[in-house]
């Protein structure tokens, strides 16, 4: 059973707060269902995947509610129960896509680089020191495109996306507030790096909490812009109140969690989404704007040491909480620089022992998504990943012309994700940010029938042609 340490400052007994929280979540879901979103019951599959990815594994939730779950979990084998859970989601998702007439050939044709990245990840299993573990992890990663394609084959993709994100926010945000204020034994933990108590809410760690807040904060800001333009009425007012309540939770959680990376990435994503809505911004020249921004930042760093000022403003030390030291040590470890050590196989075996020496904690990730990819997949894998990001950017650029509102969320999230992976990792496993990347990067027909969008003709409109030319 859950045993709280202290109660909230408002004096409400923790069990009462728990009941109120459960009742509030049920109320939000009932409100959502009364709105009659154009979604199917299959949306529960990506919702369960997303919630597990941004909170805690199934086994940990079962322990929290008092169910006797045996131990025996290792870095190599993982939890059999968690593995079965993901396998059931993947199998159910595959059956849903098969029933909906998913066209694999069309998917491969439109997403060649993304497919190439997945296939290369599979190929690296053959030279992994732990091939069976790598294979199981690769199968789990296949769930990401499957969950994303469930949304693409929904009757209305945008409605499905909006419903998914809102329902995730209902549970993730409210439980995080509950755990922090009423159940600190669940909402806090001791940081492996500093040894200090840190806030983690309903997530598994402080960084995962920050990642979830970044994603939901960006989505809610984008959703606010959509709702604001609706006709005045009771439905619009209620939706604005709901968005405001959820955003206030995010502000509170950021305040207590002090997740600097996620907060900065969220602010930059919000600025991108907002700036794209300005009439003075030419959507067809977004590639040139991005190139100019990167060039300006590079000049500012070389001439004025911009990163030092940013670190000082965020009250972080120059080593980024010893990340730079870890990066240097990781680069000293002998691996195959061309092909890496194998898919998600670096943090296994003797390398863990080697990296633990001289540290009070056990590192289990590189805290840099690009370095993490290099260690596992080598320069080949890292190069393919970068191409995947560039191709996604080009597709998003076209969407800014074809479907502006969705396109600007895509671009805001992509830039936030690219920056987030400078000091954190999301390019691996069932990570929620990695799932949302598939949602913004995949190109697949989506229309009223879910699978029957009209094909785009070879002749692009003049403004789309100009956008393509702006990239050379």
Please say which residue of 196, 223, 258 terminates a domain.
258
Q: 447 and 384, same structural domain?
A: yes
> Is 270 within a domain?
no
Determine the 3-state secondary structure of 368 from DSSP.
Answer: coil
**pLDDT (0 to 100) of residue 75:** 61
> Is 274 within a domain?
no
Q: 52 and 171, same structural domain?
A: yes
Taken in order 96, 98, 100, 105, the sign of the CA dihedral is: positive
- Output DSSP code: residue 333: S
Tell whether the model's pLDDT for residue 171 goes beyond 90.
yes
The pTM assigned to this predicted structure is: 0.90
Most confident of 142-156, 188-202, 317-331: 142-156
> Is 149 within a domain?
no
Please say which residue of 228, 258, 288 terminates a domain.
258
Q: 322 and 188, same structural domain?
A: no
> Is 147 within a domain?
no
**pLDDT (0 to 100) of residue 193:** 60
> Is 272 within a domain?
no
Other Cβ atoms closer than 10 A to 293: 12
- Output DSSP code: residue 314: T
> Is 264 within a domain?
no
Tell whether the model's pLDDT for residue 186 goes beyond 60.
yes
CB 63 within 8 A of CB 69: yes
Please say which residue of 202, 226, 258 terminates a domain.
258
193-242 residue pLDDT tens: 666 788 999 999 999 999 999 999 999 999 999 999 999 999 999 999 99
Q: 449 and 329, same structural domain?
A: yes
> Domain count of the chain?
2
Cα 8–Cα 11–Cα 17 angle in degrees, nearest 5: 65
Q: 90 and 18, same structural domain?
A: yes
> Is 150 within a domain?
no
Cα 302–Cα 308–Cα 312 angle in degrees, nearest 5: 160
Q: 391 and 293, same structural domain?
A: yes
Q: Shortest CA distance to 405 belongs to which of 267, 242, 228, 262?
A: 228
Q: 252 and 195, same structural domain?
A: yes
Q: What is the mean pLDDT of residues 348-364?
A: 86
Q: How confident is the model at residue 129 (pLDDT cuts 50, 70, 90)?
A: very high
Q: 129 and 52, same structural domain?
A: no
Q: 387 and 422, same structural domain?
A: yes
Q: 365 and 232, same structural domain?
A: no
Q: 94 and 220, same structural domain?
A: yes
Q: 176 and 118, same structural domain?
A: no
> Is 265 within a domain?
no
Distance CA 458, CA 432 (A): 34
**pLDDT (0 to 100) of residue 35:** 85
359-416 residue pLDDT tens: 878 888 999 999 999 999 999 999 999 999 999 999 999 999 889 999 999 999 999 9
Domain region containing 352:
103-141+279-472
């Amino acid at each position: 059973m859950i045993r709280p340490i202290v109660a909230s400052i408002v004096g409400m007994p923790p069990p009462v707060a728990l009941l109120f929280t459960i009742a509030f979540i049920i109320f939000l879901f009932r409100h959502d269902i009364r709105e009659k979103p154009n979604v199917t019951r299959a949306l529960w599959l990506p919702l369960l995947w997303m919630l597990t990815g941004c909170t805690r594994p199934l086994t940990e939730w079962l322990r929290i509610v008092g169910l006797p779950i045996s131990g025996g979990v290792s870095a190599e084998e993982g939890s059999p129960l968690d593995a079965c859970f993901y396998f059931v989601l993947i199998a159910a998702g595959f059956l849903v896509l098969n029933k909906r007439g998913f066209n694999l050939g069309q998917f491969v044709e439109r997403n060649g680089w993304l497919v190439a990245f997945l296939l290369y990840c599979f190929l690296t299993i053959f030279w992994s020191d732990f091939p069976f573990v790598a294979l199981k992890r690769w199968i789990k990663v296949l769930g990401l495109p499957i969950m994303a394609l469930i949304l693409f084959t929904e009757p209305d993709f945008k409605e499905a996306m909006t419903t998914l994100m809102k329902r995730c926010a209902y549970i993730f945000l409210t439980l995080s507030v509950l755990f922090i204020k009423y159940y600190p034994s669940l909402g806090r933990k001791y940081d492996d790096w500093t040894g200090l108590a840190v806030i983690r809410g309903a997530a598994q760690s402080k960084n995962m909490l920050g990642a979830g807040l970044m994603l939901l904060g960006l989505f809610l800001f984008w959703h606010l812009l959509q709702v604001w333009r609706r006709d005045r009425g009771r439905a619009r007012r209620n939706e604005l109140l709901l968005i405001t309540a959820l955003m206030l939770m995010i502000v509170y959680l950021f305040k207590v969690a002090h997740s600097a990376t996620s907060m900065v990435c969220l602010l930059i994503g919000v600025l991108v989404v907002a700036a794209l809505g300005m009439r003075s911004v030419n959507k067809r020249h977004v590639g040139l704007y991005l190139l100019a921004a990167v060039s300006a930042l590079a000049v500012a760093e070389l001439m004025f040491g911009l990163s030092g000022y940013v670190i000082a403003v965020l009250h972080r030390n120059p080593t980024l909480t010893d990340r730079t030291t870890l990066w240097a040590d990781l680069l000293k470890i002998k691996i195959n620089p061309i092909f890496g050590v194998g898919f998600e196989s670096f943090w296994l075996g003797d390398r863990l022992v080697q990296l633990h020496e001289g540290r009070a904690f056990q590192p289990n990730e590189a805290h840099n998504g690009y370095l993490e990819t290099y260690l596992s997949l080598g320069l080949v894998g890292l190069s393919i990943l970068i191409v995947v990001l560039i191709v996604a950017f080009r597709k998003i650029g076209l969407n800014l012309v074809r479907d502006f509102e969705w396109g600007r969320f895509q671009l805001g999230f992509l830039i936030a994700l690219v920056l987030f992976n400078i000091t954190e990792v999301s390019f691996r496993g069932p990570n929620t940010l990695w799932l949302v990347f598939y949602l913004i990067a995949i190109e697949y027909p989506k229309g009223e029938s879910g699978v029957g969008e009209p094909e785009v003709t070879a002749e692009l409109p003049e403004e789309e042609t100009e956008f393509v030319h702006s990239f050379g």
